[in-house]
Amino acid sequence: MYLRPVHAEHHLPTLRKFIRQNPLGILTTAIDSPLHHFLQASHIPWLLDVSDETSETELGTLRGHIARANPQTKAIIHDLTQGSSTATTPRLAKDILVVFNGPAQHYVTPKFYTETKPATGKVVPTWDYAAVEVYGRATVYFDTKEPATDAFLSKQIADLSQFAETSIMHYDRPWSVSDSPANYVGLLKKAIIGIEIEITEMGGRWKMSQELSEGDRAGVVTGFEALGSSVAKEIAESVKERAELAKQKKT
């Protein structure tokens, strides 16, 4: 991701909050395989673990799971089983990438630039959006005979369900994995593998018209608000928030 300084976000608590608000990340791998594409990507919901939520230096760990039938899974397992590793929880040799996208993104028309367009005409369209990218080393839990695999998957699906039911759905009485028959859950666990990512690098990009003049930025906000859609209204709020943050950084 191109992290232009004016759009870049490196504050880890902010990045952690973004991931938890938008947990469906795109897992991207680059694996040499005779049967599958070198580059593969899958949408996976993730949990982010950190030991100190107030820390501005701790990167943390991502936990997720993916269908065993997924071609990306097959490439991952093939890569691990063809190596010389005898570890019960093998780790991929190459880094992986997970990208988290914000729910609101929108085309920005030059007509919004009410200051520069009438003055010089030197304006072009663009796109406003927010995203966070995470790099790391992946440990993979795929061997159904290993106790570590069952332990990881049991905790993963229980924690993910709890997180989604309470933090996303806000249920007072959340659904729990234990509500399903144990033998049914056991069968489903055999159809997935677990992925744990030790994060080595994380960065975000909030491209929300921060680089514009105050007049053009005001035009962007007015333009989006006039569209009336929920997405446009959210973009307008983000543009105002990012402008305020940029102003605070200068003082």
- What residues make up the domain containing 62? 8-104+127-210
> 133-172: per-residue pLDDT in tens?
999 999 999 999 999 999 999 999 999 999 999 999 999 9
Domain contains 192: yes
Q: How many domains does the chain have?
A: 1
Domain contains 160: yes
Domain contains 249: no
Domain contains 20: yes
Whole-angstrom distance, CA of residue 133 vs CA of residue 206: 12
**Local confidence band at 217 (pLDDT 50, 70, 90 cut-offs):** very high
**Local confidence band at 82 (pLDDT 50, 70, 90 cut-offs):** confident
Domain contains 181: yes
Domain contains 146: yes
Q: 177 forms bridges with which residues in the sheet? A: none
Domain contains 109: no
Beta strand 96-101 with 126-141 is antiparallel
Q: What is the pLDDT of residue 89?
A: 66
Least confident residue range of 49-53, 73-77, 89-93: 89-93
pTM across the whole model: 0.94
User: Residue 64 belongs to a domain with what CATH number?
Assistant: 2.30.110.10
The yes-or-no verdict on residue 187 having pLDDT over 60 is yes
| Residue pair 143/149 in contact by the 8 Å Cβ criterion | yes
Q: What is the pLDDT of residue 249?
A: 79
How far is the CA of 171 from the CAs of 12, 45, 157, 162, in angstroms? 28, 19, 17, 10
> 13-70: per-residue pLDDT in tens?
999 999 999 999 999 999 998 889 999 999 999 999 999 988 999 999 999 999 999 9
Least confident residue range of 45-54, 74-83, 114-123: 74-83
The yes-or-no verdict on residue 86 having pLDDT over 60 is no
State percent of the chain over pLDDT 70.
97
Domain contains 215: no
Residue 121 in tokens: 């005409």
| Residue pair 214/236 in contact by the 8 Å Cβ criterion | no
**Local confidence band at 83 (pLDDT 50, 70, 90 cut-offs):** low
Whole-angstrom distance, CA of residue 159 vs CA of residue 176: 9
Whole-angstrom distance, CA of residue 111 vs CA of residue 125: 9
**Local confidence band at 85 (pLDDT 50, 70, 90 cut-offs):** very low
